[in-house]
């Protein structure tokens, strides 16, 4: 019996409910998008609920590839965000369990989901797409539901325009009816006017049965023979007390055959797609070789190499012997010797021949382009069967580490991040799809573009989460920005309400003197501005700066426990010594010499560095001055 570790069970209990919940929510959202897109195809057609439910079922299966990656991303974000927010992930790490080990059961589960997604794409999705598109096209061809309005002409019955002034909603009677029958053409119109009538369907629902009462009909009897014999047009007028009219109107829902869509790329599995690609590819290569051989065989300009002659009632191609010119001829001289009209004729014939050859090869190229586009469509569908599975893995390795980093559960922050990342994925996926469809990129490059963009993001977040890096800590980015730009930092010390360790004046004076001496030694050592070579080779050594900075920070931390407001305020004047690149651009003298040789780059670094060093000396002088004033406060 296989026993699952309690930790793994806990992870599954946290993740699986969120996964199924987010999957059905995402699936519902994309189905609503499908509904708004195709609602015009369904409204007003009188479709049965069973047909609409069947369409939505197949549409839901078709939308799984879009909902599944988003559900994995959102569920992993929420699950690990909840674990981080409730400090459960911290407790696991404190127990010696790494993040990868915490993720390991879900990695196995998502891998199984990815494999299942591939088989779903290969076996289930083609059949679902065939059924969905067949139903959708059948709905488009169905006649709209009969609903004749009051006081307006109704033209949804082919060949007829019907006007009804009012209707009896309880009895179903139509009053003041006017019918324009133009089924034989507008030149043979038949107009029927009646006081009332009643409309119903025949049993097979393929005809409208209209019972009219108290009316007249006017019919044009145009006939070329009668017009020629009598010299005028004929018409017929009829007055009736009761008249029955049968109008063709197919109100039934006729489902199209699935074979039409099954032969398209959306209805094929991996093996069928490969077979079609190979078959069409052989056809394209054959046509291309034929066109190439013909282009090499025929001359666009000059005498033709072959001619077609009739032998024994059949057309046969014969080789034309080339014309041998005994001596060189100047074509410009021959052309200029012709009359103006003959020159125009020659130029026009040459132009027409070149244009005709160009158009012929362009037409052949267009014929081949349709086949190439068909190949690309099949290749795109084949690549999609793999990209979905890979996208599931990538989104998990983005969502789980990101949730562990931000440590925010619930639906707020995870939804915002998930929607943003999925929009980025969707944009790159559509961009790659269009580039591949139009033949601007190779199909594999376009279809894997979105995965290639998000894969480094997943690797980055996983690496940062495993090493507990502060990816979203604003202070880390602010300190990095300060190090790059040299932004000055101001120390802010506040009096503590509860002091655990009182400030001893003798200890404070000793620390103050130590900082003052270190600052004085540094200022005495670096009185003069460093030369170009000395700056690039040595700069301000980092070891000296770190010793002085640590002494200042130790003094500020100790004086923060003081109960005197003046001491706290004066300790706030101690500067925060930064560690900037320009204080010591290189650590090895040889690299400094190499940088000095690169004069334009080295000079630019030197100009900026000297300015930064000057500011650093001012900060050190400020620290020494603050120490002098602090000593005066403690001496009192």
All residues at 6 or more sequence positions from 503 whose CB lies less than 8 Å from its CB, including other chains: 558, 559, 561, 562, 563, 567
Strands 314-319 and 153-154, bridge-based pairing: unpaired
DSSP 30: H
d(CA 627, CA 633): 10
| pLDDT tens, position by position, 249-276 | 665 556 666 777 777 778 888 888 888 8
Q: Where are the beta strands (DSSP E) in 153-266?
A: 153-154, 160-167, 173-181, 190-201, 207-220, 235-248
Q: At 191, list the tokens.
A: 């107009």
Contact 369, 377 (CB under 8 A): no
pLDDT of residue 318: 67
* Distant-in-sequence contacts of 7-16, Cβ < 8 A, 24+ apart: 7/92, 7/97, 7/102, 8/104, 8/105, 11/79, 11/102, 11/105, 11/106, 12/105, 12/106, 12/109, 14/79, 14/82, 14/83, 15/75, 15/76, 15/79, 15/106, 15/109
Q: At 506, give phi and psi (nearest 5°).
A: -65, -40
d(CA 400, CA 150): 61
pLDDT of residue 145: 53
As a 3-state breakdown, the chain gives helix, strand, coil percent values, each rounded to 5, of 65, 10, 25
Least Cα distance to 140 among 74, 227, 55, 45 occurs for: 45
Counting as low any pLDDT under 50, the low residues of the chain are 224-231
Q: At 219, list the tokens.
A: 């019919």
Q: At 550, give phi and psi (nearest 5°).
A: -65, -35
Contact 146, 251 (CB under 8 A): yes
Q: What is the pTM of this model?
A: 0.61
CA separation, residue 471 to residues 185, 290, 367, 461 (Å): 74, 60, 54, 8
Q: At 247, list the tokens.
A: 């109008």
| pLDDT tens, position by position, 551-596 | 988 888 888 888 888 888 888 888 888 877 778 888 887 787 777 7
Q: What is the DSSP string of 131-169?
A: HHHHHHHHHHHSPPPP-PPSSSEE--STTEEEEEEEE-T
pLDDT of residue 224: 46
Q: At 61, list the tokens.
A: 């299966």
**Domain ranges (residues) in the chain:** 6-141+385-423+442-466, 153-248, 268-381, 486-635
Q: 298: helix, coil or strand?
A: coil
pLDDT of residue 144: 53
């Amino acid at each position: 019996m296989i026993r699952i570790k309690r930790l793994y069970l806990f992870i599954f209990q946290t993740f699986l409910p969120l996964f199924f919940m987010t999957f059905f929510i995402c699936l519902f959202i994309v189905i609503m998008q499908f509904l708004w897109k195709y609602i015009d195809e369904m409204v007003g057609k009188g479709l049965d609920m069973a047909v609409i439910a069947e369409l939505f079922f197949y549409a839901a299966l078709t939308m799984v590839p879009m909902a599944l990656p988003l559900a994995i991303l959102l569920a992993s974000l929420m699950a690990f965000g909840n674990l981080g927010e409730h400090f459960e992930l911290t407790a696991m790490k404190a127990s010696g369990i790494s993040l990868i080990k915490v993720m390991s059961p879900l990695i196995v589960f998502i891998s199984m989901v990815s494999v299942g997604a591939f088989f779903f794409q290969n076996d289930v999705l083609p059949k679902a797409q065939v059924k969905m598109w067949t139903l959708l096209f059948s709905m488009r061809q169905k006649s709209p539901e009969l609903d004749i309005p009051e006081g307006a002409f109704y033209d949804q019955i082919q060949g007829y325009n019907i006007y009804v002034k009012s209707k009896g909603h309880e009895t179903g009677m139509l009053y003041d009816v006017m019918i324009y029958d133009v089924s034989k053409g507008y030149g043979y119109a038949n107009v029927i006017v009646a006081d009332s009538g009643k409309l119903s369907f025949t049993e097979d629902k393929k005809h409208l049965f209209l019972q009219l009462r108290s009316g007249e009909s006017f019919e044009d009897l145009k006939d070329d023979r009668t017009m020629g014999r009598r010299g005028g047009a004929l018409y017929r007028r009829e007055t009736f007390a009761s008249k029955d009219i049968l109008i063709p109107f197919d109100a039934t829902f006729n489902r199209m055959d699935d074979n039409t869509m099954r032969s398209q790329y959306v209805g094929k599995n991996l093996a069928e797609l490969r077979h079609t690609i190979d078959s069409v590819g052989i056809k394209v290569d054959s046509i291309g070789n034929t066109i190439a051989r013909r282009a090499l065989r025929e001359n666009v300009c000059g005498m033709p190499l072959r001619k077609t002659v009739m032998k024994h009632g059949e057309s046969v191609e014969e080789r034309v012997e080339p014309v041998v010119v005994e001596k060189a001829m100047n074509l410009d001289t021959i052309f200029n010797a012709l009359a103006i009209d003959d020159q125009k004729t020659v130029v026009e014939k040459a132009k027409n021949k070149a244009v005709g050859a160009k158009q012929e090869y362009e037409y052949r190229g267009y014929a081949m382009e349709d086949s190439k586009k068909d190949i690309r469509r099949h290749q795109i569908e084949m690549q999609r069967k793999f990209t979905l599975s890979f996208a599931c893995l990538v989104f998990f390795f983005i969502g789980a580490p990101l949730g562990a980093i931000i440590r925010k559960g619930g639906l707020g922050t995870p939804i915002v991040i998930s929607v943003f990342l999925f929009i980025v994925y969707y944009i790159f996926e559509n961009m790659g799809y269009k580039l591949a469809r139009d033949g601007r990129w190779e199909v594999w490059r376009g279809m894997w573009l979105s995965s290639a963009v998000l894969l480094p993001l997943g690797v980055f977040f996983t690496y940062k989460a495993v090493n507990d890096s502060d990816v979203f800590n604003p202070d880390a980015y602010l300190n990095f920005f300060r190090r790059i730009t040299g932004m000055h930092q101001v120390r802010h010390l506040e009096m503590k309400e509860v002091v655990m360790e009182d400030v001893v004046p003798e200890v404070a004076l000793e620390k103050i003197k130590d900082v003052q001496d270190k600052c004085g030694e540094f200022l005495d050592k670096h009185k003069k501005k460093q030369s170009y070579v000395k700056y690039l080779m040595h700069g301000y050594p980092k070891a000296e700066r770190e010793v002085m900075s640590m002494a200042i920070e130790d003094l500020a931390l100790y004086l923060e426990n003081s109960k005197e407001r003046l001491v706290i305020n004066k300790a706030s004047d101690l500067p925060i010594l930064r560690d900037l690149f320009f204080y010591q651009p290189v650590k090895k003298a040889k690299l400094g010499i190499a940088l000095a040789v690169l004069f334009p780059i080295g000079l630019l670094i030197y100009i900026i560095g000297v300015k930064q060093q000057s500011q650093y000396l001012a900060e050190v002088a400020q620290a020494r001055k603050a120490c002098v004033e602090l000593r005066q406060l403690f001496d009192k």
